[in-house]
Chains A and B, each alone.
Chain A
Amino acid sequence: MNNKFDATYSPPSHSHSPVSLKDDDSGDHDQNEENSTQKDGEKEKNDKDKPQSSIKRKAVVPGPAEHPLQYNYTFWYSRRTPGRPTSSQSYEQNIKQIGTFASVEQFWRFYSHMVRPGDLTGHSDFHLFKEGIKPMWEDDANKNGGKWIIRLRKGLASRCWENLILAMLGEQFMVGEEICGAVVSVRFQEDIISIWNKTASDQATTARIRDTLRRVLNLPPNTIMEYKTHTDSIKAWEEFHGLVNSSGR
């Protein structure tokens, strides 16, 4: 446990090192990074993860007469406990898998039993990622990727989140396999939604994602959208924590 949080909070191990803490399907997570959604701390998922998780879970498949989705997806929830996270907190306290679904009906089944993001309290996030991709920068699917970030004034998150994930599940982004997942982050003064894709350098893809976002979210034209590569997110996170560390000392 301590190892895990050390890894999370210490830049070197964080950014590069495959410190192998690969207990379960986790990454390790902390929500207190600068502004964006979550970061995750940790390490690469290596090849062994997949077999492990597939062994762990039985395959989720659409039920009879249900409407299959192009991909299976997994809901995650994370919450930063009040005060600074400490190493005593377990990863499990910060991010939890809520469930995996394979059809439209199964999606609503989970979604309907989850509170809407606007009703979440505290500093928390919902993540919806393709099954097999962890909501963390270092996942193989994410390591060369990035995300579009949209900051929302309070009151908009529930509707925007719903529209965002419906567009993702309905394959509306038209960027092939590029989409990894989406995140809604409830913060003190604003909420943030973001969508992650695999290849940050693919401008055609990122432009198309942006345009689709504008459309499906029905954003006012002056809405500021920011694209951030995960590499930059990691750097910023490191700097932020470097500062925190130095000032904290």
Chain B
Amino acid sequence: MSIFIFLTDAFFTCRKNVLLPKSTPIDGLSAPVGGKPGSEEQQALLQQWLEKGAGGLCSNERASEPDQVPAISAVEWQEGPKLLMTSLSNLIVSPQSSGQEEEEEQQLQQLQGVPAEGSSELQEFVETTLASSPTEEREDVEVSAPWAAVQTEGDLPDVDAPLSTEVWIEDPAVLAWSPAQETDVVSAEGVMWPFADAGQFQPLPLEIPYHEILWRDWEDLSACMPELNPESGSLFEFRVMSYNILAQDLIEQCPHLYMHCHPDTLNWSYRLANLLQEIQHWDPDILCLQEVQENHYWEQLEPTLMMMGFTCIYKRRTGRKTDGCAICYKQNKFQLISASPVEYFRPGLDILSRDNVGLVLLLQPLLTESPGNKAISPLCVANTHVLYSPRRGDIKLAQMALLLAEIDKIAKLTDGSYCPIILCGDLNSVPDSPLYKFIRNGQLYYHGMPAWKVSGQEEFCQNPHQRKLLFPLWPSCLGITDDCQYITLCQSKKSDRLKYSRDFLLQFRYCDTACERPTDLILLEGVTDAMPDRPADWPKDLTVENNSDPELFCSRYPGSIHHGLTLTSAYSHFLPERGCPEITTMPMGVGATVDYIFYSATPVKNDKEEYRRMYQDGALKLLGRLSLLSEDILWSANGLPNPFCSSDHLCLLASFGLEISDF
């Protein structure tokens, strides 16, 4: 396995090299012009790539179908070289560029230098695609042009102003961390990604050897699993990726957050190609995506992923949010049993006033060989993107509780135990934060905790509010117990009793019968001499239905919440070799882990259990993972996104084995 990964990775790297021709320095990182980019070997690889299509890239274990991912025809690559300059000139003289002509001119010269140095085929490709790009797309890109960012910089919204939109609150960074007054000319933008041509790649000027800096090792963990002998039965192996792919709308709404990026690297077409390539390279069997913009999903991601063998399920965020979560699974490995979207927005509840969502799937692994006498448990896969706002840890917890309740319902087997669970997502909380501990340890005492402490994003909480978490964290009418279960599920059986809610009973308070003194009521002064005082506006008709609120059966723990899923993280959040934390994103230049793959494991009894649970693998075994990077490495790559990594998050990838049992 690891050798295979190594080989494919080497190929991947090599191809990246080809596809990222070198020229314009980015963000002051000096980038001496290297050797001829278009070496024969590279071109051969590129040609191979183009001919075979994306499907031929990395798989010798799967039957890839090149035809499903049509390659660009060679003809397109040969078309005329003039369009690039035309487009660039058009852009450069556009009115927004006023005041920065000088620098732009400089940039233009650099860009103009590209053809001399770069591979001519790639140039032509850019020109071709530029020529075919619809104006609509170009307008989009112009919004995100760097001068737009500079213009808005003067009036950055006040983060704490009540009118701040959620964009500011939720976006992974509140202030640009790179103050560089970037005035690069936008070039080569406006390329419409033809989704049918998955794997196609935008040439971009760059000189930094990103692929070397950002190299990620595959950690094979199956070796340290002694009990994995033949006797324990075979394993159903699959790989899970969790990836926040950065919705384009969010870039365009907050361009100042991405001023450290070369504008071309923010171009959706460029990013899409890169993201798809990355997914294809790592070839997950289950793909949990966050920040999937709805139009991009339907127009590009879903059709392309479908061609890659995935079945995709999408849940857009509520309200006016344009992005959402998707879970995609290889249809030759899994069959869908159920799919449950979870909306965290609940009208009227402040603690659930945000438009985040989750998605829970129940999948049946498909056994290829002798399914007759083999059995394998279904797998529950959940994906979510929790609220960003560092100040509202209370909301984050409630959102998690809703998701955990859905998982509890979906994953619960008839005997009350759970099938194996994988929980992926961007939780906007760091390791060992209260929210993280809650997921991992199954309980959290929250009463009195400052809301901003929940997620541990303290460095982003510039103005910690005094909001504290108080019991009850959410009202019973939500229908979720403090064990993060739906109330209807925690009640053992329906009662045939005559149950009345308080509100239902109260509406009879001044009914005619009640206002009439009972004839047999003895009169005791100061005790039974009260007179009912029916308010004038007392409604005679019943308005409250006796729904015999299921909520009313739920018991609440004062000040704490719990859940019964035993989950641990596939990642350790620490890089022992480098002696520093691993990170999945770096908003404002500060690295942090906020993305996770949690999976079901078996708690191990230990004396300190109450502080931190220990786990060992159960039916679901962690076989390996793609190592993450450290903050200093990402610094040297100029942060995220960069030309190599096209999101502001790194992807997480873990390999699992699920026990197959004999009948």
A interface vs B, CB < 8 Å?
A: 63, 66-70, 77, 79, 96, 98-99, 104-116, 119-121, 124, 163, 166-167, 169-172, 174, 207-208, 211-212, 214-216, 220-221
Confirm or deny: B517 has a beta carbon within 8 angstroms of a beta carbon on chain A: yes
Kindly list chain A residues whose C-beta atoms are within 8 Å of the C-beta of B528: 77, 98, 113-115
Identify 9 new A-B residue pairs, CB closer than 8 A, beyond the known A77-B524, A108-B510, A112-B514: A96-B522, A107-B505, A113-B528, A113-B531, A174-B495, A211-B556, A215-B472, A216-B502, A221-B471
Contact A110 B500 (CB under 8 A): no
Chain B 509-548, CB within 8 Å of chain A: the 1/0 string?
Answer: 1110111111011101011111110000000000000000
Please tell me which one of the listed residues B500, B526, B559 contacts residue A120 in the complex, with CB atoms under 8 A apart: B526
Chain B 489-510, CB within 8 Å of chain A: the 1/0 string?
Answer: 0010001011111101110111
Alpha-carbon separation in the docked complex, A111 to B527 (Å): 11
Contact A108 B498 (CB under 8 A): no
Please tell me which one of the listed residues A67, A112, A212, A214 contacts residue B558 in the complex, with CB atoms under 8 A apart: A214
Given contacts A166-B505, A216-B502, contact A99 B559 (CB under 8 A): no
Contact A108 B520 (CB under 8 A): no
Kindly list chain B residues whose C-beta atoms are within 8 Å of the C-beta of A113: 517-518, 521, 528-532
Give the nearest-CB partner of A60 in chain B.
Answer: B520
Kindly list chain A residues whose C-beta atoms are within 8 Å of the C-beta of B518: 99, 106, 109-110, 113
Contact A112 B499 (CB under 8 A): no
Kindly list chain A residues whose C-beta atoms are within 8 Å of the C-beta of B471: 220-221
A185 smallest CB distance to B (angstroms):
14
Kindly list chain A residues whose C-beta atoms are within 8 Å of the C-beta of B530: 112-116
A53 smallest CB distance to B (angstroms):
15
Kindly list chain B residues whose C-beta atoms are within 8 Å of the C-beta of A172: 499, 501-502, 552-553
Confirm or deny: B15 has a beta carbon within 8 angstroms of a beta carbon on chain A: no
Confirm or deny: B318 has a beta carbon within 8 angstroms of a beta carbon on chain A: no
Alpha-carbon separation in the docked complex, A68 to B491 (Å): 24
Kindly list chain A residues whose C-beta atoms are within 8 Å of the C-beta of B516: 109
Given contacts A108-B514, A214-B556, contact A115 B526 (CB under 8 A): yes
Q: Which 5 A-B pairs have the closest CB atoms?
A: A108-B514, A211-B555, A112-B532, A170-B500, A105-B513
Please tell me which one of the listed residues B514, B520, B554, B559 contacts residue A105 in the complex, with CB atoms under 8 A apart: B514
Q: How large is the interface on B (under 10, 10 to 19, 20 to 34, 35 or more residues)?
A: 35 or more
Confirm or deny: B222 has a beta carbon within 8 angstroms of a beta carbon on chain A: no
Contact B556 A215 (CB under 8 A): yes
Please tell me which one of the listed residues B521, B554, B555 contacts residue A110 in the complex, with CB atoms under 8 A apart: B521
Kindly list chain A residues whose C-beta atoms are within 8 Å of the C-beta of B178: none
Chain B 182-226, CB within 8 Å of chain A: the 1/0 string?
Answer: 000000000000000000000000000000000000000000000
Confirm or deny: B412 has a beta carbon within 8 angstroms of a beta carbon on chain A: no
Alpha-carbon separation in the docked complex, A237 to B52 (Å): 91
Alpha-carbon separation in the docked complex, A20 to B527 (Å): 30
Give the nearest-CB partner of B492 in chain A.
Answer: A174
Chain B 458-484, CB within 8 Å of chain A: the 1/0 string?
Answer: 000000000000111000100000000
Contact A108 B502 (CB under 8 A): no
A73 smallest CB distance to B (angstroms):
13
Confirm or deny: B296 has a beta carbon within 8 angstroms of a beta carbon on chain A: no
Confirm or deny: B138 has a beta carbon within 8 angstroms of a beta carbon on chain A: no
Alpha-carbon separation in the docked complex, A120 to B516 (Å): 22
Give the nearest-CB partner of B504 in chain A.
Answer: A170
Confirm or deny: B437 has a beta carbon within 8 angstroms of a beta carbon on chain A: no
Alpha-carbon separation in the docked complex, A127 to B51 (Å): 88
Confirm or deny: B321 has a beta carbon within 8 angstroms of a beta carbon on chain A: no
Contact A167 B502 (CB under 8 A): yes
Alpha-carbon separation in the docked complex, A202 to B472 (Å): 26
Kindly list chain A residues whose C-beta atoms are within 8 Å of the C-beta of B508: 67, 104-105, 108
Contact A212 B522 (CB under 8 A): no
Give the nearest-CB partner of B472 in chain A.
Answer: A215
Contact A171 B505 (CB under 8 A): no
